[in-house]
Amino acid sequence: MFLESVFRHPFLNVDAVTHHFYDGDSLIFDVYSTKEVSRHITPKEKLKNSNFSFVNGSLPTLLNILESKGFRTTLNKDTLLNGKTYLYIKAFPEANTVSHELLIDKQQNLPYFLRITINTFQPFIDEFTYSSFAYPDSFEKPQSMLQPIQGATLPVLPLAVGDFVPDWDLRLLSGESFSFRKLAGKKTILYVSMINCGPCQSAIPFVQELIEKYKADPDIQVVVFYPYDSKTNLDKYVKTKQISYPIVYNSMESENERVEIMNKMELGMPTFLLLDKNKKISGSITGFSNNNKSKIEELIEEKLKEISLSR
């Protein structure tokens, strides 16, 4: 069984290609993207059903639709596409009302196109399309998987306590330039967040409270940074969530530079980084819930007191 998926990552906004190959003995999973080039091999005895989901699984989903396992289906009118007639099937998963779509070649009685829709709400539309189904006589291992993977990326360690935040030159959502050099000279609460994160969304009022709390203190600044999300998605997000405070986003035009920042900020979300006047990370607090809001505020205060401006 071999599956190649070509897509643009919805959150990282980078082009990616993945290969899955299962030969009965092991499952090989290759990833090719600016952010990562890697190979993962899972032997047969360690495989679980979840290993075969294959990016919301074109093959498992297709078979379940055809066998009516977990789906109710409706047959629409035949669809004419590129001069050929296809049977058009709408399939509704029993768990929700979002429909999948399947086209069957009426001459060959074989699948031609499959669209799997997981979510239709902005800005988190989650949709996968599969076409170019091939039916080879044998499932020989592709040549790309017979050779050692080329250009494998070495793991990049994210920023940690004791590291210095780099002098990135980025932008605010409002359009103004923002240099991380500006963080020098003061104690800084660097709040790192992302859109697709429930605790991050819960923390929005708390972040506003932090900004209000310290805005009159000449020695402390609060900076909000979204290293993963695009300006387009963030513009929609701040409008929906009614966020009024400034946000720094990863505005690097070069995909390599943008991914480099993502790798350095690959932290649990959200994370509060406490920096000294030299931009050295003196403390880190990860996670948020309204139940522990007071505890997080206390920890932030304690860490800020430990940081000296004279160093």
Give the DSSP H or E segment for 105.
strand 100-105
Same structural domain, 175 and 255: yes
pLDDT, mean of residues 15-22? 83
Q: How confident is the model at residue 33 (pLDDT cuts 50, 70, 90)?
A: confident
Range from 92-101, 129-138, 181-190 carrying the lowest mean pLDDT: 129-138
Per the structure, the complete domain to which residue 60 belongs is given by 2-145
Q: Is residue 156 part of a domain?
A: no
pLDDT at residue 7 is higher than 70: yes
**pLDDT at residue 153 in the model:** 65
Q: Is residue 74 part of a domain?
A: yes
- If one compares 77 and 221, the residue with the highest pLDDT of the two is 221
Same structural domain, 106 and 202: no
Domain endpoint, select from 145, 179, 210: 145
Domain endpoint, select from 113, 145, 177: 145
Same structural domain, 135 and 242: no
Same structural domain, 72 and 182: no
Q: How confident is the model at residue 176 (pLDDT cuts 50, 70, 90)?
A: very high
Same structural domain, 8 and 140: yes
Interstrand relation of 37-43 and 79-81 (parallel, antiparallel or unpaired): unpaired
Same structural domain, 190 and 112: no
What dihedral angle (degrees, nearest 10) is formed by the CA atoms of 80, 82, 88, 92?
A: -140
Q: Is residue 151 part of a domain?
A: no
Same structural domain, 37 and 123: yes
pLDDT at residue 220 is higher than 80: yes
Q: Which two tokens stand for residue 15?
A: 């082009």
Total number of domains constituting the chain: 2
Range from 152-156, 199-203, 289-293 carrying the lowest mean pLDDT: 152-156
Q: What type of residue is 49?
A: N
Sequence-distant (≥ 6) Cβ neighbours of residue 112 within 8 angstroms? 86, 103, 104, 105, 131, 133
Same structural domain, 83 and 196: no
Q: Is residue 155 part of a domain?
A: no
Q: How confident is the model at residue 114 (pLDDT cuts 50, 70, 90)?
A: confident
- If one compares 10 and 293, the residue with the highest pLDDT of the two is 293
Q: Which two tokens stand for residue 201?
A: 């969304």
Q: What's the rounded Cα separation, in Å, for the pair 18 and 6?
A: 7
Same structural domain, 215 and 270: yes
Q: Is residue 254 part of a domain?
A: yes
Query: What is the CATH number for 197?
Result: 3.40.30.10
**CA-based radius of gyration for the chain:** 24
Q: Is residue 207 part of a domain?
A: yes
Domain endpoint, select from 95, 111, 145: 145
Q: Is residue 161 part of a domain?
A: no
**pLDDT at residue 291 in the model:** 93
pLDDT at residue 96 is higher than 80: no
**pLDDT at residue 55 in the model:** 46
Same structural domain, 175 and 134: no
Q: Is residue 111 part of a domain?
A: yes
